[in-house]
């Protein structure tokens, strides 16, 4: 298959801004990793006019998708898990061209998973987990059990991804297959929610208790990215100051609910500051 596609990728390899080319073939009839294409050609370039360009091909009753991605966008995907397939293409793809060992070094970075990138991924997943869990609990208490069940499935998914990152791995598309090997306790929770013969409301109630415990024990370690940033200045932070900080933008939508949870757990302290109104104070925040 690589030989058939050679004219396509050789043209790309000859261009000076091409950093690397990988190929990944479909290994089974249904393949989410390759979007069910028979083969993926993944091309990393620098200074691209179009950050992400996709072209589809057909040959000998087979299909191929060529993705040409600017290296800055690829690193954003890697750092934030915003397009997990691309991470798997880099990890599992076969290198057919690289300039100055670019892809080899990128694969090594993914394998070692530096702590700074790991902390960012953990806080992103934790922030999503807090919001989803809070919604599931609120829906349960309002007796909207099916909606609560749906949100709890999402919560367990975020918890699963968080646990994988904690172990030093990048979450894959087939996350539950990973969790079954890496964190069987969380896989068991998922099984109990999905497969238990108990009534729906009872299943959710048990999950609320179990997930709350899992969240609580991970809270401080999972939010090191935020806490370390807040320690960079002695003065407490207003929410507005945190909201515009460039390093927080990847989890800004879930920041408010996460801070409230950290305040509740005494991981972040509220510092009140006077305003012009009587008995009205600004809330500011600092790590406890």
Tokens at residue 214, please?
């899992």
pLDDT of 131 above 80: yes
Stronger pLDDT, 19 or 8, i.e. the higher one:
19
Q: Where in the chain is the domain with CATH 3.30.460.10?
A: 2-112
CA distances from 285 to 79, 113, 241, 252 (A): 26, 30, 10, 16
CA angle 118/288/156 to nearest 5° reads 45
Stronger pLDDT, 28 or 51, i.e. the higher one:
51
| Mean pLDDT, residues 173-190 taken together | 91
pLDDT of 188 above 80: yes
Asked whether 242 and 190 are in contact (CB, 8 A), the reply is no
Q: Where in the chain is the domain with CATH 1.20.120.330?
A: 115-274
Give the model's pLDDT for residue 174: 78
Where does residue 286 rank: exposed (0-12), middle (13-18), buried (19+ CB within 10 A)?
A: middle
Crossing angle for the helix pair 71-80 and 115-141, to the nearest 10 degrees: 50
Tokens at residue 112, please?
């070692």
pLDDT of 178 above 80: yes
- Spatial CA neighbour of 125 closest among 264, 222, 209: 222
- Spatial CA neighbour of 204 closest among 283, 276, 262, 146: 146
In the block, tokens 């909606």 appear at: 147
Tokens at residue 107, please?
């694969």
Q: How far apart are CA 209 and CA 222, in angstroms?
A: 19
pLDDT of 10 above 90: no
DSSP 144: -
Tokens at residue 167, please?
């172990």
CA distances from 183 to 111, 159, 178, 222 (A): 19, 10, 8, 16
Give the model's pLDDT for residue 28: 84
DSSP 166-191: HTT-PPPSSHHHHHHHH-HHHHHHHH
Give the model's pLDDT for residue 141: 97
pLDDT of 146 above 70: yes
Fold classification of 2-112 is Beta Polymerase; domain 2 (3.30.460)
Q: What is the mean pLDDT of the chain?
A: 93
Whether pTM exceeds 0.85: yes
Radius of gyration of the chain (CA): 23
Please check whether the domain covering 115-274 is classified as CATH 1.20.120.330. yes
DSSP 14: T
| Mean pLDDT, residues 41-58 taken together | 94
In the block, tokens 């990890």 appear at: 91
- 88-113 in b/e burial notation, b at 16+ Cβ within 10 A? bbbbebebbbbeeebbeebbeebeeb
| Mean pLDDT, residues 121-128 taken together | 96
- Strands (DSSP E) contained in 71-188 are 94-98
């Amino acid at each position: 298959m690589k030989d058939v596609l050679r004219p396509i990728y050789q043209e790309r390899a000859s261009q000076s801004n091409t950093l690397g080319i990988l190929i990944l073939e479909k290994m089974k009839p249904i393949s989410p990793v390759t979007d069910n294409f028979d083969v993926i050609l993944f091309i990393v370039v620098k200074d691209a006019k179009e950050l992400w360009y996709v072209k589809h091909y057909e040959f000998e009753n087979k299909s191929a998708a060529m993705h040409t991605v600017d290296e800055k966008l690829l690193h954003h995907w890697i750092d934030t898990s915003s397009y997990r397939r691309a991470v798997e293409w880099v990890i599992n793809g076969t290198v057919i061209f690289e300039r100055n060992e670019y892809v080899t070094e990128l694969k090594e970075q993914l394998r070692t998973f530096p702590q700074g990138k790991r902390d960012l991924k953990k806080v992103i997943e934790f922030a999503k987990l807090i919001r989803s869990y809070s919604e599931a609990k609120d829906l349960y208490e309002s007796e909207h059990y099916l909606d609560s069940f749906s949100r709890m499935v999402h919560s367990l998914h975020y918890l699963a991804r968080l646990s994988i990152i904690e172990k030093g791995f990048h979450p894959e598309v087939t996350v539950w297959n990973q969790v079954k090997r890496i964190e069987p306790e969380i896989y068991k929770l998922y099984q109990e929610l999905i497969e238990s013969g108990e009534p729906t409301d009872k299943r959710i109630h048990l999950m609320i208790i179990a997930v709350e415990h899992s969240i609580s024990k991970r809270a401080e370690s999972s939010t090191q990215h935020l806490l370390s940033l807040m320690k960079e200045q002695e003065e407490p932070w207003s929410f507005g100051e945190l909201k515009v900080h460039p390093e927080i933008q990847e989890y800004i939508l879930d920041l408010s609910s996460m801070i409230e949870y950290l305040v509740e757990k005494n991981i972040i302290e509220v510092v009140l500051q006077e305003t012009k109104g009587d008995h009205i104070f600004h809330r500011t925040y600092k790590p406890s």
